[in-house]
Amino acid sequence: MSKQTKQKIAQIFKQQVEQKGFEHVSVAQLMHQAQMRRQSFYDHFEDKYDLLTWTLKTMMQDDIENNLDYLPWQEIITLVFFDIQENANFYRSILQSQTEVDVVKELAWHFQVLLLHVLKQKGFVKEAKAYDLIETYSLGLTYTMTNALFSPSAKEYDELAQKVINALEFALRT
């Protein structure tokens, strides 16, 4: 299956999750909507949890890893917060209705890639404490982002992103 086909299935998956909720999306419905054979799905994904993992990974790679050499890290963080807000119904559904895929861990892993990039630029790569910062900060950043999805008085994505950027800039002061 080509990457385009996987992306088509993932896009339909995201739409269905937003509309119906994760627990009400089936492979049969997805493939009917995609106008593809059901077996095509199973040729490349084990189940909808595998599709969820691939979808999250692809979304984060598009926002983070694909922009490391093109955008300042602050803009990447803002972009991710924007995309989370734009796909809020999708994220709320997958965070509330399934536990098989650790969404926070998956998102945090991609933030670790970003933070490692930032620390390399700052010359902190060989310091063990820098790696502790990466792991801890990535989880905190991800919880800040995902908790905002459920807050009745949630801040806008740019306010949250700026809070995260300010905290990281403070931590990196030397």
Digit-coded pLDDT (tens) for 31-68: 999 999 999 999 989 999 999 999 999 999 999 999 99
Give the list of residues 6+ apart from residue 58 with CB closer than 8 angstroms, or none.
6, 7, 10
Least confident of 42-56, 88-102, 110-124: 110-124
Domains of the chain in sequence order: 48-171 (1.10.357.10)
100 has pLDDT over 60: yes
| Stated pTM of the model | 0.92
State residue 45's pLDDT score.
Answer: 94
- pLDDT, position 133: 82
* Phi/psi at 95 (5° precision): -75, -30
What token pair was written down for 4? 């385009």
The predicted pLDDT at position 71 comes to 97
- Using the predicted structure, report yes or no on whether residue 95 has a pLDDT greater than 70: yes
Query: According to the model, what pLDDT value does residue 131 have?
Result: 81
Q: How many CB atoms lie within 10 A of CB 113?
A: 15
Q: What is the DSSP string of 91-103?
A: HHHHHHH--SS-H
What burial letters (b/e) apply to 51-80, b meaning 16+ CB within 10 Å? bbbbbbeebbeebbeebeeeeebbebbbbb
Based on C-alpha coordinates, what's the Rg of the chain?
Answer: 17
Q: What percent of the chain has pLDDT over 90?
A: 71
The answer to which of 52-56, 65-69, 80-84, 125-129 has the lowest mean pLDDT is: 125-129
Residue 93 phi/psi, 5-degree rounding, is -65, -45
pLDDT higher than threshold 60 for residue 174: no
For the chain, counts of helices (H) and of strands (E): 9, 0
Cβ count within 10 A of residue 127: 11
Reading the block at residue 29, the tokens are: 């419905």
